[in-house]
A and B are shown apart, each in its own frame.
Chain A
């Protein structure tokens, strides 16, 4: 077998058999599914624990509303029950969890009592309950004022309208829904995947190189494998491991999501949606989902996936080679700091600028970032769902290929000298000498 393939093979077999690989591979989907389920679980858990609250309302704003989200309300006559007596009840009675106290107004200012209402509970009050009570108070105060001005609140409600503006893109073939949100999400998600993959696995390349260097095995290796082959074998081996892990993550997460989805936890079930839309509440959201699905169809998935694979791999190669060079230049991981900054900065910066790219995907900043190989994988993936002219894509891809050939070459030169240099921590000037040095 070719030495280069042997190197890659060793990287794959030793990494895949590690316990940490198994743990990470299985833990990943658990984490992702957990994140997806969290909103549903939180909603479910808050439904179960309604608080029983006593209400002592000196302002007489609240009428006898029996229930708000998360709490049952029991009204006491403020003339008969003082704040202290009510608190005593909360302390002694097991079936009473707390007290909502609205004080008397001072100088007959109705706003005072509204702004100084207190919620006492045994233990910490759930965040939602306080805000529910606030909006309850606000709503009744508002209606009270309307009545005071001689306006029927029902008239105001009827006068309200819901409007929804959908954006369409005009092109030669006609118009299509632009679905900005879903495009933003798709591009951003692809960008995040590239960012994560590059950091996770490029850092592994670096650590692998440092390990070979500190264990001194590298000197034996380079007698049989050219340094460049050793480096590329390592980069490709780790890429295979990474793709395998990512593949398992995506497959397991998708599987778990489908399973959970069929149990009706993730998407609202049709009957519920129908009931809600009949009530006239969820209609806008529903049409949002439908248009989102439409946008996904219009995104030209094969092209999108093709682009993703290209930028995913070329970005990893581009950064992987540089991380390998950093590993070769230093003696231990603690020494990597000074060389890591110029590598992590462009990645992080592109992410910070992601919002600007999404707001103006065809602006000069977005175009420039999608041309520079340091930022192109992320910037371009964010832009692509918005439609990028073919010549820009071609230019960006060509620059990306040139970019990773360049970094592989430079990294190879640094690697070659670095792996056999011990002791003194090199400076940037040293690295420059190494690059120009004959082998």
Chain B
């Protein structure tokens, strides 16, 4: 089952058309990366998923049912622009947000105490939010997002604005929550954070879903039959290539390392390596797999 399914979403603002028939399938249990350049429509989609905005056209379903008013109890949302009431006490503020999400007073208090203990915030319960450091305020915000133990978590640019230590903490929490079976969606315009974290991604460009699937699937789909062989030698030596393979580049790459690049059939790796291995002292052999960033550039430019 999908945690979230969107079909043909359209959203027009006064002066621009933010979503142009966006389709999206987010499998249950996935750690889903929502990629795209600034202004692609990521935040608009996220706001629609959180029922902050309503789409002009299209349908959106949460766990197989139309997105309704009680969806807020099943979703946790950390917006890109984060903030708390500055004059309010930390504990009270967290209690307020938890109660808005439907937690009872006693549940909210119990869970908050546990989280505050875990992240060493106990002493801050009665302090004002304005006394917190930025990193601590971010921790409190994260806690209030996940406190009601929602099945689906949506983070808009979760790593922007967090300092490196807290970003790492958040990253670990995200992986932990995902292991526990929660579905996580997060948007980012930084591709490098995606490959190590996500199981699935979707690329949004100009309000449309231009590329989506599991990371492995996407990489497999975009294999181009490029291979690189690195071997130990001072200078390129002449190589006997098997049939169907074509040398595209051959040069010294570093001290004592030469790289030879080939184009061959996609599933030819074994035959290629078998033919080449006896000829040189192999240092490394790999299929050149496009990075998500490459895929993104290719897809956007191809469109």
Which residues of A approach B to under 8 Å, CB–CB?
1, 3, 6, 10, 14, 18, 211-212, 214-217, 219-225, 420, 422, 430, 433-434, 437-439
Contact = CB atoms under 8 A, between A and B. Distances in A.
B85 A224 contact: no
Interface string B100-141: 111000000000000000000000000000000000000000
Contacts of B14: 430, 433-434, 437
Nearest to A216: B83
B79 A216 contact: yes
Contacts of B79: 216, 219-220
Contact of A439 (B50, B53, B99, B144): B53
Contacts of A14: 85, 87-88
A211 B85 contact: yes
Nearest to B99: A6
Most chain B CB atoms below 10 A, which of A14, A433, A439 = A14
Most chain B CB atoms below 10 A, which of A3, A222, A422, A439 = A222
A401 B104 CA distance: 36
A3 B100 contact: yes
Interface residues of B, number: 28
Contacts of B99: 1, 6
Contacts of B56: 438
Contacts of B176: none
Nearest to B129: A215
13 contacts: A18-B87, A211-B85, A215-B86, A216-B82, A219-B79, A220-B77, A220-B97, A220-B145, A223-B77, A225-B100, A420-B47, A420-B53, A422-B81
A219 B96 contact: no
Given A6-B96, A217-B84, 14 more contacts: A1-B99, A14-B88, A211-B86, A212-B85, A214-B83, A215-B86, A217-B85, A219-B79, A220-B144, A223-B50, A223-B72, A224-B102, A420-B47, A422-B81
B303 interface: no
B142 to A, nearest CB: 12
A223 B51 contact: yes
A439 B11 CA distance: 10
A281 B40 CA distance: 86
A420 B156 CA distance: 15
B81 to A, nearest CB: 4
A100 B263 CA distance: 119
B212 to A, nearest CB: 25
B240 to A, nearest CB: 63
B156 to A, nearest CB: 9
B9 interface: no
Q: Rank and list the top 10 A-B pairs by shortest CB-CB distance, nearest first.
A: A216-B83, A215-B83, A216-B81, A224-B100, A219-B79, A223-B50, A217-B83, A433-B14, A439-B54, A224-B72
A349 to B, nearest CB: 33
A283 B253 CA distance: 116
B25 to A, nearest CB: 22
B58 to A, nearest CB: 13
A434 B14 CA distance: 8
A117 B82 CA distance: 76
B52 interface: yes
Interface in B138-163: 144-145
Interface in B250-269: none
Contacts of A439: 53-54
B54 A6 contact: no
Nearest to A14: B88
Contacts of B100: 3, 6, 221, 224-225
Nearest to A10: B96
Contacts of A223: 50-52, 72, 75, 77
A415 to B, nearest CB: 13
Nearest to A208: B85
A14 B95 CA distance: 13
Contacts of B84: 215, 217
A333 B153 CA distance: 34
Nearest to B88: A14
Contacts of A212: 85
A217 B86 CA distance: 10
Nearest to B14: A433
A18 B85 CA distance: 14
A10 B79 CA distance: 22
A439 B83 CA distance: 23
Nearest to B80: A219
Contacts of B81: 216, 219, 422
A215 B102 CA distance: 23
A225 B79 CA distance: 15
Nearest to B89: A14
A2 B85 CA distance: 20
Contacts of A222: 52
A336 B233 CA distance: 72
A224 B102 CA distance: 9
Contacts of A438: 54, 56
Most chain B CB atoms below 10 A, which of A217, A225, A422 = A217
A327 to B, nearest CB: 15
A418 to B, nearest CB: 12
Contacts of B101: 224
A91 B175 CA distance: 93
Nearest to B15: A433
A193 B96 CA distance: 34
A225 B56 CA distance: 21
Contacts of A214: 83
Contacts of A430: 14
Nearest to A225: B100
A211 B54 CA distance: 25
B107 to A, nearest CB: 13
Interface string B52-95: 11101000000000000000100101010111111110000000
Given A6-B99, A6-B100, A430-B14, A219 B52 contact: yes
Nearest to A222: B52
A10 B84 CA distance: 13
A221 B101 CA distance: 9
A124 to B, nearest CB: 47
